[in-house]
Amino acid sequence: MNDPFHTPTDAVQRHDPEVRGFASDNYAGVHPEVLAAIALANGGHQVAYGGDDYTAHLQDVFRRHFGERALAFPVFNGTGANVVSLQALLPRWGAVVCAESAHINVDEGGAPEKTAGLKLLTVPTPDGKLTPELIDRQAWGWGDEHRSQPLAVSLAQSTELGTCYTAEEIRAICDHAHERGMLVHVDGSRLANAAATLGVPMREYTTDAGVDILSFGGTKNGLLLGEAVVVLDPDAVSAQSLGYLRKLSMQLASKMRFISVQFEALLGGDLWLRSATHANAMAKRLETAVREIDGVEIVRPVQANAVFAVLPKDVTERLQKRFRFYFWDERTGEVRWMAAFDTTEADIDAFASAIAEEMSRR
């Protein structure tokens, strides 16, 4: 009799696993330690929708990083985490102050506004980072029924422009926001990369700095799928409402154990930091290499795992036929190169060599 669990697979590998690009850390595969954890959680039956043993243990894992009051709610993806988090902070008439370049404003298809029904009040920032003074450009009009009420601030760590807030900068934002009756959300899709740069525990620039709720990223740091909404201050954010909002936003996984066990693999030891530190180091290696190439300009600080550069458009277009990466701003010729947990020194050296080669053809 055939064993259905040990029959050969019909799947065929349809890509070259040696090929890597620099378009996004989302392009990377799954870290082998995470894959092993998923296999460990397989087999047998576990209670669905978060009633499993792995999700129960996950609370202890997150509390080790974010404090004894932290409550984690696994979700499918980053947009879902942000939408659920922001809904938990605001009434229907509430608005969110964020950087103009923020992911919630630029790259989420209008989901915070369309799905959550929230108004985004954006502020131009030179480096992707908010300050109390910048927040005040939109933090006004309380009590005016003709204006969406600015009741939350959302910042990204690291930012969409690859910069990192210090703990002191986030604490100043939280103090400023709380004085005005506003709550603070952090989009932490690359929170681990910031920790690797700053050299401090993640709670130092989240919980200890006064952040109320966090979207914690896993996919960009080696997970198959999954992010987590983390309530850091249960006095400010209703944990009960998170349960309802997660389901309402189509972010409640039936087989949640397979998301939760990934976070246990990532955060139970130092995998999160090892992977982020490596990605950051590869970005620095790329920055160092391309600075020596005439005609290539690094235009933003390299503080996490992103490198922003300007080079001639024809060079970019030829390079894109050899390596995947994106234009950041076609008008200026600015591009973005991302490193991931599996980027190797050989990958960086080959890419830098290709850039030098294409530049020399001019």
Tell me the three state secondary structure of residue 40: helix
Contact indicator for 325, 22 with CB cutoff of 8 Å: yes
pLDDT tens, position by position, 70-125: 999 999 999 999 999 999 999 999 999 999 999 999 999 999 999 999 999 999 99
Q: So what's the pLDDT on residue 2?
A: 55
Q: What pLDDT sits at residue 8?
A: 67
Write down all domains in the chain, each with its CATH number in brackets. 32-267 (3.40.640.10), 272-360 (3.90.1150.10)
Could you read off the pLDDT of 206-257 as tens digits, one per residue?
999 999 999 999 999 999 999 999 999 999 999 889 999 999 999 999 999 9
What is the chain's mean pLDDT, rounded? 96
Mark out the alpha helices in 141-209 (DSSP H runs). 167-179, 191-198
**Tens-place pLDDT, residues 165-188:** 999 999 999 999 999 999 999 999
Question: What is the model's pTM?
Answer: 0.95
**Torsions phi, psi for 163 (to 5 deg):** -95, 160
Q: Give the model's pLDDT for residue 4.
A: 55
315-361 confidence digits (pLDDT tens): 999 999 999 999 999 999 999 999 999 999 999 999 999 999 999 99
Helix (H) or strand (E) holding 105: helix 103-106
Q: Phi/psi of residue 158, each to 5°?
A: -75, 165
| Residue 10 pLDDT class (50, 70, 90 cuts) | confident
Residues contacting residue 41 through CB under 8 Å, at least 6 positions apart: 54, 257, 258, 261
DSSP state of 81: H
Which of 283, 212, 331 shows the shortest CA–CA distance to 22?
283
Per-residue model confidence (pLDDT) at position 19? 87
Q: Is the pLDDT of residue 201 over 70?
A: yes
324 and 22 in contact (C-beta within 8 Å)?
yes
Look at residue 1 in the predicted model and tell me its pLDDT: 45
Q: How far, in Å, CA of 332 to CA of 309, rounded? A: 10
pLDDT at 5: 58
Is residue 289 pLDDT above 70, yes or no? yes
326: Cβ–Cβ under 8 A, 6 or more apart, which residues? Answer: 23, 24, 335, 336
- Rounded to the nearest 10 degrees, how much is the dihedral formed by the CA atoms of 288, 292, 297, 300? 20
Q: Sheet harboring 183-188: ordered strands across?
A: 71-75, 227-231, 213-217, 183-188, 149-156, 94-99, 119-123
